[in-house]
A and B are shown apart, each in its own frame.
Chain A
Amino acid sequence: MQNETIIDVKHLAKSFGSFEAVKDVSFSVQRGDVFGFLGPNGAGKSTTIRCMMSLITPDKGSIEMFGKSLQTHRNEILRNIGSIIEKPDFYKYLSAEKNLEIFARISGADVSKKEIQEMLEFVGLSTRGKHKVGGFSHGMKQRLGIAQTLLHKPELIILDEPTTGLDPQGIIEVRNLILRLKNEQNKTILLSSHQLSEIELIANRMVIINQGKSIVEGSVNDLLQAEEIVVKVTVDDSEKAMRCIPQLAYAKNSEVISSTEIEVLMKKNEIALFNKHLVLNDVAVFSMEPKRKLEDYFIKIIQA
């Protein structure tokens, strides 16, 4: 079951007038994946997701979900998907409960009032169920949005920039919710986000798109493992540490940051060797901190 393809997007293209928002995007998501969908602003992420949710009609390409074409099995497919596109918008003049009732009624599943209460509890809004959504903060709406995506127990969850506009506390709350979905409910999740650290923390596979084209796709670990990373090393004497580096073939682009800090470019599996080398050369090592890998990788891919 783990290798079953849930989403298969092939050569997707969509233009708005003369502007080509998506030129050639292809990727596939397997059952159980937490799939990171990355790209800079204007790369075509939202357009691709909108095509997948049948909000807009693609000009070219195919979208298959659960082994069926979206074009011919739209309702059947959407019954198995819960989504937040950009930001969840609700009827402000209705309560959280009523909003969930409305969306549950057309979700294609029988959802009881008890299940709505349970879902509000799951997202931490059980005490606000009777309150009108108009008075909710952005973070609360986002959590209500996640409740709405889960109500009908979909197999696939698509979250387009779910942390946009949230404060740090809100980002942590939403991230924890996504992790719970992954760990407790084993959902397949497609997550588009600008928060690269989040993708690095929770995604197992990813695709990077730029200028309307998919550039690289694969396992997050595999893609990042092969990459050299910048390691910040805190030592007792950075000059002494720098003198040891020319002897090493694997440590490149070293740079003194301060009297006790240096940065060195190397592969992940060489960090331990480097540490050993410094200690053997009488350099006291206090910490070795790899800088965020995905961010560097992302920038490198986009710039390329």
Chain B
Amino acid sequence: MLLKNTYNELIKILAKPRSYLGFGALTLLVLIIIFAMRLDGKSIISFVTATFENSISFNGHVLNGNLIAFIILQMLIVHVPLLVALVTGDLISGEAAMGTIRMLATKPISRNQVVMSKFLAGAIYTFLIVVWLGFLALFVSRFIFGTGDLIVLNSDGLVILKDVDVLWRFGLGFCVAFLSLLTVSSLSICLSAFTENSIGPIVATMSVIILFTIIGSLDVTVFDTIKPYLFTTHMAAWRSFFENPVPLKDIIQSIIILVLHNVVFVVVARIKFSKKDILS
């Protein structure tokens, strides 16, 4: 029954026009970035490399597909949560607003299974968004700009990664980015179990992300103890795969924190939805 309802949930997601907003917006944004880099990419790169020109000589194809993919990821990963929440935040509350929750809850499927199927469908949608972002960022960029060594500017300085050493980093980076976005999806579905209007959970999810991000960026001692436990602190963990050596310990810690958040959101949503009187 869980899988049958997950299939139902995917049909519903795919039938909603708003589900394609994310794919459309990503396509448009990536094409704009690629277009801009194609036109003026060299001057942007030279602006960055100028700082290091006294000590390092840059030869070869610096403005390549790998660098463009990294720039795209860096720019868009901040905005993708909104695109995910736009669809997943509606999964439970949208049914309540439409009245279909009444029909759904009178079927021989447990409320836990209803919630779990929504989480699974949300996860599949999030995965498809990440895959689409990966395809556009990596494959389209590499197709247009070609391949080459990747130069990444970190707080510690420049990291130069060989072309052959890049693809696996992108692969694992996308996996961690998926986990980050899955946390956003889980949060929005969890909030969705508390309300009966479609917009509320979407706005609330973005508010939580903005609030946590601000707390994370404030250099105030009182917040230092909670910062490591905020999921927003770990949403950029994908970037750690582009350091040399890769800080595995930090990445694993981020993965644990993100997984724990997902578990908490799922459990809270299940408890809330199971005990909820459906009055709509």
Chain A contact residues, CB within 8 Å of chain B: 16, 50, 53-57, 74-76, 78-79, 81, 83, 85-94, 98, 102-103, 105-108, 148
Closest A residue by C-beta to B110:
A75
A-B CB proximity, top 6 nearest: A89-B99, A56-B277, A75-B108, A55-B278, A78-B108, A108-B108
Q: Contact check, B99 vs A87: say whether CB atoms are below 8 A apart.
A: yes
One of B5-13, B26-34, B219-227 contacting the partner = B5-13
Between-chain CB contacts (< 8 Å), 6 pairs? A50-B279, A57-B275, A76-B108, A88-B103, A106-B104, A107-B107
| A103 CA to B100 CA, complexed, in Å | 10
Beyond the given pairs A16-B277, A78-B107, A106-B109, 6 more chain A to chain B contacts, judged by CB atoms under 8 angstroms and listed by A's residue number, are: A56-B278, A83-B106, A85-B106, A93-B15, A106-B104, A148-B103
Asked if B102 is at the interface of the complex by the 8 Å CB criterion, the answer is yes
| A103 CA to B105 CA, complexed, in Å | 11
| A88 CA to B100 CA, complexed, in Å | 8
Question: Within the complex, what minimum Cβ distance (angstroms) separates B181 from chain A?
Answer: 24
Which residues of A have CB within 8 Å of B100? Answer: 89-91
Which residues of A have CB within 8 Å of B131? Answer: none
Q: Contact check, A107 vs B105: say whether CB atoms are below 8 A apart.
A: no
Which residues of A have CB within 8 Å of B16? Answer: 93
Chain B contact residues, CB within 8 Å of chain A: 1, 4-5, 7-8, 11-12, 15-17, 98-100, 102-110, 275, 277-279
| A84 CA to B109 CA, complexed, in Å | 17
Q: A89-B103, A90-B100 are in contact. Are A106 and B1 (CB under 8 A)?
A: yes
Question: Within the complex, what minimum Cβ distance (angstroms) separates B27 from chain A?
Answer: 22
Q: A56-B278, A92-B98 are in contact. Are A106 and B106 (CB under 8 A)?
A: no
Question: Within the complex, what minimum Cβ distance (angstroms) separates B21 from chain A?
Answer: 14
Which residues of A have CB within 8 Å of B5? Answer: 105-106
Question: Within the complex, what minimum Cβ distance (angstroms) separates B101 from chain A?
Answer: 8
Q: Contact check, B103 vs A55: say whether CB atoms are below 8 A apart.
A: no
| A87 CA to B11 CA, complexed, in Å | 23
Closest B residue by C-beta to A89:
B99
Question: Within the complex, what minimum Cβ distance (angstroms) separates A91 from chain B?
Answer: 6
Which residues of A have CB within 8 Å of B11? Answer: 94, 98, 102
| A299 CA to B182 CA, complexed, in Å | 58
Q: A91-B15, A93-B16 are in contact. Are A57 and B277 (CB under 8 A)?
A: yes
Q: Which of B12, B17, B102, B277 contacts A102 (CB 8 A)?
A: B12
Q: A93-B15, A105-B7 are in contact. Are A75 and B102 (CB under 8 A)?
A: no
| A107 CA to B106 CA, complexed, in Å | 9
Which residues of B have CB within 8 Å of A83? Answer: 106
| A85 CA to B7 CA, complexed, in Å | 25
Q: Contact check, A94 vs B15: say whether CB atoms are below 8 A apart.
A: yes
Question: Within the complex, what minimum Cβ distance (angstroms) separates B35 from chain A?
Answer: 33
Question: Within the complex, what minimum Cβ distance (angstroms) separates B222 from chain A?
Answer: 38
Q: Contact check, B1 vs A85: say whether CB atoms are below 8 A apart.
A: no
Which residues of B have CB within 8 Å of A105? Answer: 4-5, 7-8
Q: Contact check, B8 vs A106: say whether CB atoms are below 8 A apart.
A: yes
Closest A residue by C-beta to B5:
A106
Which residues of A have CB within 8 Å of B108? Answer: 74-76, 78-79, 106-108
| A86 CA to B109 CA, complexed, in Å | 21
Closest A residue by C-beta to B100:
A89
Which of B102, B104, B278: most chain A Cβ within 10 A?
A: B102
| A50 CA to B278 CA, complexed, in Å | 8
Which residues of B have CB within 8 Å of A106? Answer: 1, 4-5, 8, 104, 107-109
| A85 CA to B278 CA, complexed, in Å | 11
Which of A78, A81, A89, A90: most chain B Cβ within 10 A?
A: A89
Which residues of B have CB within 8 Å of A90? Answer: 100, 103
| A55 CA to B278 CA, complexed, in Å | 5
Which residues of A have CB within 8 Å of B98? Answer: 89, 91-92
